[in-house]
């Protein structure tokens, strides 16, 4: 315990980057907690982000308060902690018998050569957005894809794409601790398209985080696949490759740790989710689009005054489709959230379904409220048919 207190004293200051507590003993109480420093009215506080099911809670604490909470969390709730500051990185592991193991290493001091460090302006609660990938710092794949110029400046026409890439990496950052550390992480990206986000995922996990990964991108367009493979070879991304293939018939893997499906059209998303479940994927990330299936099926006399307006019916059908998908994943033992992919004013339809398979989390009974909803609306979603048949 004394070693843990010493670690907290060393990191709970302005140099702190982030603390992540994971591997929970009670997912209903909290599945994960993240801590970061913020400046509020000139004083240093620590913002706690607590994840509970599909809900996220934020609260700010003093250093003394957050230290006490961290100790209680690690004694009672979480079995793992990742600590990162400008000067050190540490991992805390809690055994079944409550033994605390702290492993830490020092990092190079912050300086002008791009080493990590924080200043007070970066901590402000009202500061500008702090991206994982920085404007002005060249990243090889962003330059190769035309998002940045060779000197690292984000091109004006691609700034929305730059923001989207960083938002996507934040979602990956949240679940990285759920992926295996003792072996190669196997990832499949269904419907990868031009693969901006596939390259971003590979760069972040392999190049920035130093994890051993193997990523396969799948798409139907031969020219796109060829271009992506050529860029991966130029960048020496040796464990990133692209294949031409259809999501519904793909049989190129027996087990996958993470399945990504971004903008797979209509029921293609359902095929990707079904394969992820059958593979036992630890993490699923899907951004559905063109949810037409339920729009063709939905019939409900009670809601007819609303559904008679085509645009309203289309939007309701899309939201209901994704909500049912999330519930069906929960039936399979996944802790599932529906999140905004990027700011709503840019793409109001972009929702992300993020699901993490929790150890010890029992699949829910099939006799749930889902059947009441589907009977009421007279619909039968593709994912339900794929999983239950």
Domain match, 219 and 286 both: yes
Domain match, 222 and 176 both: yes
CATH of the domain at 383: 3.40.50.150
pTM for the model stands at: 0.68
Domain match, 161 and 69 both: no
- pLDDT score of 344: 38
**Cβ(17)–Cβ(34) below 8 Å:** no
In a domain, 102, yes or no: yes
**Cβ(40)–Cβ(125) below 8 Å:** yes
Would you write out the chain's pLDDT as a tens digit for each of its 389 residues? 788 888 898 899 888 889 999 888 888 888 899 998 887 766 888 889 888 876 778 888 899 999 999 999 998 899 999 999 888 888 888 888 888 888 888 765 444 334 444 444 445 444 445 688 888 889 999 999 999 999 899 998 888 889 889 989 999 998 988 998 889 999 999 988 888 999 999 999 998 888 999 999 999 889 999 999 999 999 999 999 999 988 888 888 888 999 999 888 889 999 999 999 999 999 999 999 888 999 999 999 999 999 999 999 999 999 999 999 999 999 999 999 998 876 434 444 578 999 999 776 565 555 567 889 999 999 999 999 999 87
* Last-in-domain residue among 80, 106, 132: 106
Domain match, 97 and 201 both: no
Q: Say how far apart CA 75 and CA 154 lie, in whole Å.
A: 45
Which residue's entry shows tokens 């969390």? 73
What interhelical angle do 268-279 and 310-331 show, nearest 10?
10
Domain match, 160 and 246 both: yes
Determine how β-strand 351-357 pairs with β-strand 283-289.
antiparallel
Residue 3's alpha-carbon distances to 8, 15, 90, 96, 103, in angstroms, are 9, 19, 12, 18, 10
Domain match, 92 and 146 both: no
In a domain, 117, yes or no: no
Range of the domain at 184: 140-388
Domain match, 144 and 94 both: no
Domains held by the chain: number: 2
Domain match, 214 and 280 both: yes
Q: Say how far apart CA 89 and CA 250 lie, in whole Å.
A: 40
Note the Cα 110 to chain centre separation in Å.
28
* Last-in-domain residue among 53, 87, 106: 106
In a domain, 112, yes or no: no
- pLDDT score of 189: 93
Tokens representing residue 261 in the block: 């499906």
Domain match, 99 and 144 both: no
Among 350, 291, 348, 340, CA closest to 320: 291
335: part of which helix (H) or strand (E)?
Answer: strand 334-340
* Last-in-domain residue among 52, 85, 106: 106
Domain match, 102 and 182 both: no
In a domain, 42, yes or no: yes
Domain match, 88 and 149 both: no
In a domain, 120, yes or no: no
What interhelical angle do 310-331 and 369-377 show, nearest 10?
150
Domain match, 161 and 247 both: yes
């Amino acid at each position: 315990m004394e070693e843990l207190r010493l670690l907290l004293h060393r990191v709970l200051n302005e140099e702190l980057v982030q603390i992540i507590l994971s591997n929970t003993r009670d997912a209903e109480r909290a599945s994960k907690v993240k801590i970061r420093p913020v400046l509020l009215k000139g004083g240093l506080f620590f913002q706690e982000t607590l994840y509970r099911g599909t809900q996220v809670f934020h609260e700010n604490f003093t250093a003394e308060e957050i230290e006490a909470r961290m100790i209680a969390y690690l004694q009672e709730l979480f079995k793992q902690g990742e600590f990162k500051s400008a000067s050190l990185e540490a991992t805390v592991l809690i055994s079944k018998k409550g033994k605390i193991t702290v492993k830490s290493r020092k990092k190079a001091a912050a300086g002008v050569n791009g080493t990590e460090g924080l200043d007070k302006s970066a901590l402000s609660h009202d500061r500008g957005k702090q991206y994982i990938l920085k404007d002005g710092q060249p990243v090889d794949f962003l330059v190769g894809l035309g998002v940045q110029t060779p000197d690292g400046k984000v091109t004006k026409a691609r700034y929305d794409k730059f923001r989207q890439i960083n938002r996507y990496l934040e979602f990956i950052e949240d679940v990285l601790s759920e992926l295996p550390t003792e072996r190669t992480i196997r990832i499949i990206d269904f419907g990868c398209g031009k693969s901006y986000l596939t390259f971003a995922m590979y760069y972040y996990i392999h190049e920035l985080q130093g994890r051993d990964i193997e990523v396969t991108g799948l798409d139907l367009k031969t020219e796109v696949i060829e271009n992506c493979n050529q860029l991966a070879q130029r960048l020496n991304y040796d464990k990133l490759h692209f294949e031409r293939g259809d999501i519904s018939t793909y049989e190129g893997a027996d087990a996958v740790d993470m399945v990504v499906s971004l903008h797979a059209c209509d029921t293609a998303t359902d095929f990707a989710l079904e394969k992820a479940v059958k593979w036992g994927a630890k993490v699923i990330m899907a951004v559905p689009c063109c949810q037409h299936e339920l729009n063709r099926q939905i019939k409900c006399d009670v809601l007819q005054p609303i559904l008679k307006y085509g645009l309203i019916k289309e939007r309701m059908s899309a939201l209901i489709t994704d909500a049912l998908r999330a519930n069906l994943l929960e039936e399979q033992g996944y802790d599932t959230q529906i999140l905004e992919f990027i700011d709503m004013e840019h793409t109001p339809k972009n929702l992300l379904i993020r699901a993490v398979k929790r150890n010890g989390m029992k699949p829910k009974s099939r006799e749930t409220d889902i059947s009441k909803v589907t009977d009421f609306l007279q619909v039968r979603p593709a994912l339900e048919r794929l999983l239950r048949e």
